[in-house]
Every structure is written in C-alpha cells, then in structure tokens.
Structure 1
Amino acid sequence: MEIEKPTTMMCTLLAMEQTNFCYRVCSVCERTLPDNPTSLCNFCNLNSSKQSHSSPSKRLFRILMSVASDTRVFTVICFDRAAKVLFGCSADEFFDFAKLHPFTAATANRILEGEMIKVTLSRPKNGNAEHLRVSQVFPLRSGFQPAIQTLKEFYGVRTGS
C-alpha cells in the first residue's frame, strides 16, 4: 500500500508477530542496543556522567501486525507509543510478565485478534524500510481493555491497590 501523507483508516487487527515484539535501547539516549543484556551504549559510555539511571537499557515495542481494511490485507509495524495503547503497559512490563507466564505473546495475539481499530499510517522515514508505520491507534470497541489487563485476569494475577 503506497501513501504519500499520513492516512487514517479503520482496520481489523488480524495477527501480530509473537516472537520478536520488542527491542532494547539505551535508557539515556534511546539508541538501539544488541539483545545481549550486558551490552552498554557506546555513545553514553563515553559520557558516563549521564548514566544516573538504575538500568542502562530498556525495551520498546516493535510489533509487526497484519491488518485488514475494507479493501485489502497488509502488514504494518507498530512502535512503542502506539503499541502501548493496545497493550496498556510498557514493553519492559510485558516482557517481565511474559517471562513468568508462558505463551503470553500468543495469548495477547488471540486477545487482540479481530479488534476494530482506527489507525494513522505513515511512510517510514527510512527509505529502505519495508512496512508502513502505525503512528496512532484508537480501539473502536467501547468495552476495549488493553491486553495486559485481560492477561492478568486470565493468569489470575492480582494488581496491588
């Protein structure tokens, strides 16, 4: 699907990539880091005075999704800000929850499958990128609750008050 400027449309979420839903970034400058948990940011390593955060890295969502409009099915990529609307938590929180509860990503996929959403799609800034970007997402169902809430109910996890 080719678009010249950001386009808003109504879609149905068909499926999400379940194995690679997030990536690590430096918690100071948000540059992408290797998956190795011990790796540090080379840029911020030089400026260690900035390293006041408790963790040198954090995770951000990067979710490949299949969506259907009224005329076609296509693949889009949903990054952190938009993905948080669907998941209701940070990528770190989702990752930690998934470590404790097997098949969390597959269950989240089933929870969100079939959701009607209004998305704003934009062209990638990188000319080599393959998929359109989801810059905004709005669930259309009045009873929508983010995936993490349903997952916590499903796995019987109590939330503190």
Structure 2
Amino acid sequence: MRRIYSPLLFFFKNRSYVLGYASMTFPDIHISFCTIAALNSRSLCYRVCRACEAPVPDYIHGPMVCISCGARLSENGTQMLYRLQLSIATEDKVFPVVAFDRAARSLMGCSADEFYHFASCNPCAVENVSKVLLGEMVELMLRPPKSGRAQHMRV
C-alpha cells in the first residue's frame, strides 16, 4: 500500500454544546498523525438550499420551496456540500469519522459543486478519489457531534 504524507490540518476551537438544560463543553480530541483507512464513496456530497443550507432532495422536479426558509428551489437555488464518511486508523485503533464541507474541501482541493459537475462528466472520478485518499496521512482535530443522535466523530 502506497502512503503519501501531506500535512493537512483540520483545527477547530473548543465549542460548547447545549444538552437539555445544561451547557457543557466537550474537549476536542487531537490526533497527531493518522491514516485514512477507508472512504465511503457512495455519498460524498449532498444537496442543500443555497439560502439556509438545509438539506433538500437530490432530484428537483419542477418548482419546489425550501421547507426551512421558504426560498424557491431550482438548479440555481441549491448547492452541493461535502459529507465524507471516513475510517481513520491510529497506532492502536480504527474509528469512523465524518468530515463535512469546510474540512472536506481542504482534503479534496475543490468545492463540492465543482467535484459534482466533474464527476457527472467522468463517472470513474469518485472511485479514483477513494483510491487516492486511501492511505493518506493526515493530522486531525476531532470533536463530538452536536446532536445526540449522531454516532460518528466530526473533523
């Protein structure tokens, strides 16, 4: 397996989360060096409303309105954002991680809209991206999910 070293840094400040009535601050987890062990290539991007960034259906047929903000949705009224589901391997364990748009954009090198249009013209692009990122060494700052329903750590 070929390993490529690139010093990609994903740092976020400590954030406070509201759980029920209590406000708690969860510490971020700093991982000095880790390897991308796997990438779910089935869903790299998802479509959102351009005004409020609420998720919308992938296929828009005719005039639709965003449920969250009431904006009119068309091809120009939506944008794509990244949601990379990764498995990260450290020296002693492997665990699942989700990298959303801001962190995934620095890893991928382009916006999700650009990658979506490129992948629609080149069908094997998604498979090739997963092959290239496999074994990539990165430095991460992980944080717990904001909602209690989520299962994966966030980059």
TM-score, reference length from structure 1: 0.73
Larger RCO, structure (CA 8 Å, separation 6 or more) = 2
Gaps of 5+ in 2: 1-25
Counterpart for residue 6 of structure 1 = 28
Amino acid at match of 2:40: E
Counterpart for residue 22 of structure 1 = 45
Counterpart for residue 125 of structure 1 = 146
> Cα RMSD over matched residues?
1.9
Instruction: Tell whether the 8 Å contact from 1:40 to 1:56 is kept in structure 2 after alignment.
Output: no
Counterpart for residue 105 of structure 2 = 84
Instruction: Tell whether the 8 Å contact from 1:61 to 1:79 is kept in structure 2 after alignment.
Output: yes
State the 1:22 CA deviation.
Answer: 1.0
Counterpart for residue 42 of structure 1 = 67
Amino acid at match of 2:127: A
Identity, % of aligned pairs? Answer: 39
Does 1:98 find its partner at 2:119?
yes
Runs of 4+ in 1 over 4 A off after TM superposition: none
1:71 to 92, 95, 103: 92
Aligned residues: 127
TM-score, reference length from structure 2: 0.75
State the 1:44 CA deviation.
Answer: 3.2
CA deviation profile, 1:59-112 (whole Å, cap 9, x unmatched): 100010011011101110010000001111111111111111122111001111
CA distance in 2, matches of 1:54, 1:70: 45
State the 1:54 CA deviation.
Answer: 7.8
Bigger helix share: 1
Q: Secondary structure at the match of 1:67?
A: strand
CA distance in 1, matches of 2:111, 2:135: 22
